[in-house]
Structure 1
C-alpha cells in the first residue's frame, strides 16, 4: 500500500472513530443497542465458523508425527496398465486400474493455530487422489491420464477456502508423494508428516524398481 493510500485509509478510519464517539454522547442508547447487535452478530459468525471447522475435522484423520497412512501394491495387467491397490490405515482398500509407468498419491493436510492449537487439536490429513504417469513426455501429453479421487469433499471446504482466502486459525497444506515406479508385485508404504508424504519401498520388487528407476 502506498503512503498516499495509507493516509486516506487511516484518515477515514480516524474520522469514523470520531463520529462514533460523538454518537455515543449524543445518542448513547442507540449506539449501545447497535454495539450489542454487532456483538451478537459477531458471536453468530464465530459460532458458524467453529461449526464449519468441526464439520471439516470429522472428514480428516488425526496426524501426529511421521506415520504410515496407507500401503500401495501394484499388479501388472497389460503393457502400461496396472491394478493398483491402496489400503488406507483406517479405511477400506481402493482397487483401481491405472495407466502409465509410475504412480503418485496426494493428500490434504490441515494444521491449526491460535486457540485451536492451544486446546490440543492435532493436525489432520485426508488422502485426496491416486494417479498414474508415463515416463515418456510424448505419452504424457498424448495418452489418457489416470486420476482417481479417494474421498468426498466436505462442503463448505475449509481447506480450499484457506488456500484461497487465508482463513484464521487454520493452514491448508497440499502434500504429495514423489512419483514411484510401477512393478509387478511391488509394495510401498505411504508415510505422512505435517510437511508432506513420503513413499517407501517395502519388498524386494519395490526396492529393485526404485533402484533401476534411479539409474
Structure 2
C-alpha cells in the first residue's frame, strides 16, 4: 500500500496525530522533571497539567483510530473493489477481488449473483463546514440466488471484510448514541449483479453513499445469455 492510499485511511491520520500528541506529552514530562529538580514547583505543576491534557488527547485520538479501522475517506466517487468471476460448477463461483491499493483475495461464492455491501458514515455540523468528507468501509460480499425459494434453502456464502472488530464506530453509535453527537448517519449501501464466467465488474461508491456495481462491456454482453453460451 502506497502513501496515497494510506492517507485515505482516517486511522493513519489519527494514529499520526496521536503519536505527535503523545510526543508532546513526553516533552512536558521531561520539562516537569527538570523543574522539580530545580525546585520550581509552580512551573512543574503547569507542565504536569499539560502532560495530563496531552495524554488524554493522545489516548482519545488513538481510541478513535481503533474505532475507524477499515474506513476510508469518501471522495467524489471512490473505487471500492474490482471483481473477476470464474465458474467452478453450476451456481458455484471463484471471485478474484482487487482493491485500489493492489491487494487481492480469492473467495468462493454460491448462487447466481454476487451482492456487495458497504457501511457509510456521514457527519453533522460543524464537521461538514470544516470539509470533513464522509467515511466508508467495505463490509461484506455474499452469494445471492435468483429464486427466492432457493435463497431460503440453498447453501449461503457470506465473506466478511470488516477489519474493525469490537469497538467499531458502527457498534459504538448503536450502543452509545449520545457519545457520538458529531456522527449524523451510519447506514449500509448494497448492490448486486448476475455472475457470468469470465466476468469483470467495477464497484464504486458515490459521494451520496450509494454503492454502484458496473460490468464491463464484454460482461454486459454475457449477462442474460445461457450459461456456456
One fold, TM greater than 0.5?
A: yes
Tell me how far 1:211 sits from its aligned partner.
8.2
RMSD: 2.7
How many aligned residue pairs are there?
Answer: 169
1:196 equivalenced with 2:210 (yes/no): yes
Tell me how far 1:71 sits from its aligned partner.
0.9
Contact 1:71 1:87 (C-alpha < 8 Å) held by counterparts: yes
* Secondary structure at the counterpart of residue 84 of structure 1: strand
What is the 5 A alignment of 1:46-195? Answer: 52-90=63-101, 92-163=103-174, 165-166=176-177, 167-170=180-183, 171-177=185-191, 179-193=192-206, 194-195=208-209
Give 1:27's aligned residue.
none
Using the size of structure 2 for normalisation, the TM-score is 0.64
* Secondary structure at the counterpart of residue 173 of structure 2: helix
- Distance in 2 (CA, whole Å) between partners of 1:175 and 1:52 is 26
Tell me how far 1:201 sits from its aligned partner.
1.1
CA offsets 1:41-61 (integer angstroms, 9 cap, x no match): xxx999876654333335311
- Distance in 2 (CA, whole Å) between partners of 1:91 and 1:138 is 38
Using the size of structure 1 for normalisation, the TM-score is 0.68
- Distance in 2 (CA, whole Å) between partners of 1:63 and 1:151 is 17
Tell me how far 1:91 sits from its aligned partner.
5.1
Q: Unpaired runs of 5+ in structure 1?
A: 1-43
Bigger Rg, structure 1 or 2: 1
Tell me how far 1:172 sits from its aligned partner.
1.1
Change (3 A) 1:91 1:59: farther
Contact 2:70 2:162 (C-alpha < 8 Å) held by counterparts: no
Give 1:26's aligned residue.
none
- Distance in 1 (CA, whole Å) between partners of 2:61 and 2:130 is 13
- Distance in 2 (CA, whole Å) between partners of 1:210 and 1:88 is 27
